[in-house]
Structure 1
Amino acid sequence: MLFRTIRNYAGVACFLTLASCGNKQQQQQQQGPPPAVPVTVEEAATTSAVYYDEYPGTVTPLNQTELRAQVTGYITGIHFKDGDKVSKGQKLYSIDQQVYDANYQQSLANVAVQEANLVKAQKDADRYHELDKKDAIAKQQVDYADAALESAKKQLAAAKATAESVRANVRFSGIVAPFSGTIGISQVRMGTSVVAGQTVLNTISTDDPMAVDFTVDQKDIYRFSQLQGKGTKDSTFLLAFGDDVYPYPASVSTIDRAVDAQTGTIKTRLVVANPKHVLKGGMNTIVRVKATTGASSVVIPYKAVTEQLGEFFVYVVGDSSKVTQRKVTLGRQIGTSVVIKDGVKEGEKVVTQGSQNLREGSAITTAPPQQAGAPGAAAPAKK
């Protein structure tokens, strides 16, 4: 009896399940296929558009050096104004110059004394040798005279060497510009004590033209080697400071001798005119290098691309207004468009708006959605 009751319940449950499935199928048949998703599409095109690769760079003088004290003493003269344009050989600083001039004069006087002593020693030696020929003097006296002559010669040579050393100090006590350029703000003032080889007095640098240093990946060495010497007329290289573009084009002057093994990059140097002295050493800039996409590059709006787990996809419109999700390989972004290296061909249509509502095989429509009350819109149901 119990078994018959369970069997009856099972039969009822099965009947109810079949009825439910039948109702769902009937509802789906009544509803029909899902409505087409309204989207916006655009056609992939080819272009040879110009764009700029960008690299961070640093402005640096082509020639720059620190001025250091070459003698020890006190600053007794500053012969320029901070920031002046100076010429090669122009006197900039004096360091105890009167003291070194006095020392030099003293060394010259010592040379004169030693020259006089040499003359006396030479005469004594000559006279003793004459007496020795007549056997009128002891041999020992002749030897003493010869020794005194040699000593006088060496003392004169030492005095001359000392004079040359002091003369060099006199020259070094006056610091001059090693080349024409702009001198910076002085690091010392009148009366400052300076030490030879240690104290930095100032820095001088050239300012027209200027250099811009930046690094490029080693795979681009050949490209930049081909561009070396170009760019001053066709604006291949430009400098950007924020939204402002520097009006004078640059050109590649030097590519470093070796690649940095740790970073895989190589330093490249541009040269750019600076007639108005706007560029200053140490400024940061963006180096813009002109390039082209090539005549056969396919481009689509960048907003058509979606990213999933590091890969990029677009929805391509196929037959019967249905879409297919397709993986693409991206190239250079150009404004609001992007170059497609692989995945989309010229003339194919891609979805640019509404892709968030799509899935593989979704039907689409490009007609604008109907507004309530518009002609052809369904009338509201009567209550």
Structure 2
Amino acid sequence: VNVDVKAQVTGYLDQIYVKEGDYVSQGQPLFKIKADIYNEQVNNSKAAYQAALSAEQNAKLEIEKIKPLVEGKVYTELQLKTAEANYAAAKAQVAQAQAALGSSQINAKFTLINAPVSGYIGRIPNRIGNLITAADATPLTTLSEINTVNVYFSLSEADFIAFIKDQNNKSSNQQATLLLADGTAYNHSGKVELASGNIDRTTGSMALKASFTNPDKILRSGGSAKVILKKAHENVLLVPMAAVKDIQDRYFVYVIGEKNKISMKQIEIAGNTANAYLLKSGLTACEKIVMNRIDMLNDGMQVQPTKKSTM
């Protein structure tokens, strides 16, 4: 998960506490915007608040002074009501000054920008002295939170339907395996979830995601990998990958016929294991195929078979 770090107030960048690539914890200081003007606003707001409190107190004392004198006809009812109105206005001024003080204190706190989540620091495009605004399109940096990494992938509509059917089968294991960019298998399985509720009409595919724990911090945002979903099959034939020729996304094997002459035959595959294809159609269990060195063969050649144990 990537989180953009942006300023919430405008000012000149005063401090950068981290470097690109650093790992930071949530709440750790990242940047400091020059705070002089905001501290001054806090001081002014405090003074205005104290003045409002004093005005409120004076207005209250005025009422307390006038009330007993109204009965003696020294002050009129109108003068008392005027004093009460002044007191109400003074109370409103206190509330307004208190809100302004709170707002100025919040803005002053915003000059210190802390990490919203734990993660790795991305690029830092600004330098000390640059003017920073809340409206800047480019973030101060991007934090990559990688304790758990979501890997997004798509399935065709047909494969998605098959996936859902397998998921509804309680005996089916719907954990995902990840094949890393270097060809090695990631040593933690992932949980598969829907990433969208609709099939993309443009591509005819459904978006899914697999969530993987990342304790060793091997997985990083923006990386690439292959997601492998296992499917249970019964009574299927396995064809070794070494025996299959891939020609423009079509799959062929060399079948051994009479007098050990070979002929190329197209097959359909339903999936694969680590080193074999699952046969969908094109071969029967009694047919013999060439198991290796197929790049050296041509249709119609005669070969000398040797026995090989079945898979």
Superposition TM-score tier, normalisation by shorter sequence: 0.7 to 0.9
SS at match of 1:269: strand
* Residue 114 (1) aligns with residue 56 (2): no
Decide whether the 8 Å contact of 1:111 with 1:163 is kept in 2. Answer: yes
- Counterpart CA distance in 2 for 1:346 and 1:65 is 55
Match for residue 34 of structure 1? none
Deviations 1:74-128 (A, max 9, x none): 1122222322221111122222223212211221111111101111111112211
Decide whether the 8 Å contact of 2:254 with 2:265 is kept in 1. Answer: yes
SS at match of 2:178: strand
- Structure scoring higher RCO (CA < 8 A, sep ≥ 6) equals 1
SS at match of 1:127: helix
Gaps of 5+ in 1: 1-62, 358-364, 369-383
SS at match of 2:123: coil
Match for residue 153 of structure 2? 214
- Counterpart CA distance in 2 for 1:277 and 1:108 is 47
Q: Superposition pairs for residues 1-383 of structure 1, below 5 Å? A: 63-198=1-136, 200-221=139-160, 224=163, 226=166, 237-242=177-182, 244-262=183-201, 263-290=203-230, 294-297=234-237, 299=239, 301-302=243-244, 317=257, 329-332=267-270, 340-349=279-288, 355-356=299-300
Cα offset, 1:336, TM superposition: 9.2
Deviations 1:206-250 (A, max 9, x none): 123322211112333355455699587xxx6132315x3144233
Q: What TM-score do the two structures reach when normalised by structure 2? A: 0.76
SS at match of 2:78: helix
SS at match of 1:146: helix
Deviates more, 1:291-300 or 1:175-184: 291-300
How many positions carry a matched residue from both structures? 290
SS at match of 2:158: helix
Match for residue 49 of structure 1? none
- Judged with a 3 Å threshold, the aligned counterparts in structure 2 of structure 1 residues 292 and 146 are, in CA distance, closer, same or farther, namely closer
Gaps of 5+ in 2: 306-311
Percent identity of paired positions between Structure 1 and Structure 2 = 24
The residue type paired with residue 269 of structure 1 is K
Deviations 1:26-85 (A, max 9, x none): xxxxxxxxxxxxxxxxxxxxxxxxxxxxxxxxxxxxx32101110111112222232222
- Counterpart CA distance in 2 for 1:153 and 1:104 is 21
Decide whether the 8 Å contact of 2:244 with 2:252 is kept in 1. Answer: no
SS at match of 1:355: coil
Cα offset, 1:279, TM superposition: 2.8
Decide whether the 8 Å contact of 1:214 with 1:267 is kept in 2. Answer: yes
- Judged with a 3 Å threshold, the aligned counterparts in structure 2 of structure 1 residues 100 and 245 are, in CA distance, closer, same or farther, namely same
Decide whether the 8 Å contact of 2:173 with 2:230 is kept in 1. Answer: no
Cα offset, 1:315, TM superposition: 6.7
- Counterpart CA distance in 1 for 2:17 and 2:288 is 74
SS at match of 1:277: coil
Match for residue 361 of structure 1? none
- Counterpart CA distance in 1 for 2:238 and 2:83 is 102
Deviates more, 1:220-229 or 1:203-212: 220-229
- Judged with a 3 Å threshold, the aligned counterparts in structure 2 of structure 1 residues 143 and 332 are, in CA distance, closer, same or farther, namely closer
- Counterpart CA distance in 1 for 2:238 and 2:19 is 60
Match for residue 52 of structure 1? none
Q: What TM-score do the two structures reach when normalised by structure 1? A: 0.63
Decide whether the 8 Å contact of 2:180 with 2:224 is kept in 1. Answer: no
Question: Which structure is larger by alpha-carbon Rg, 1 or 2?
Answer: 1
- Counterpart CA distance in 2 for 1:324 and 1:82 is 60
Decide whether the 8 Å contact of 1:66 with 1:203 is kept in 2. Answer: yes
- Counterpart CA distance in 2 for 1:187 and 1:306 is 47
- Judged with a 3 Å threshold, the aligned counterparts in structure 2 of structure 1 residues 220 and 337 are, in CA distance, closer, same or farther, namely closer
RMSD of the alignment, in Å?
3.8
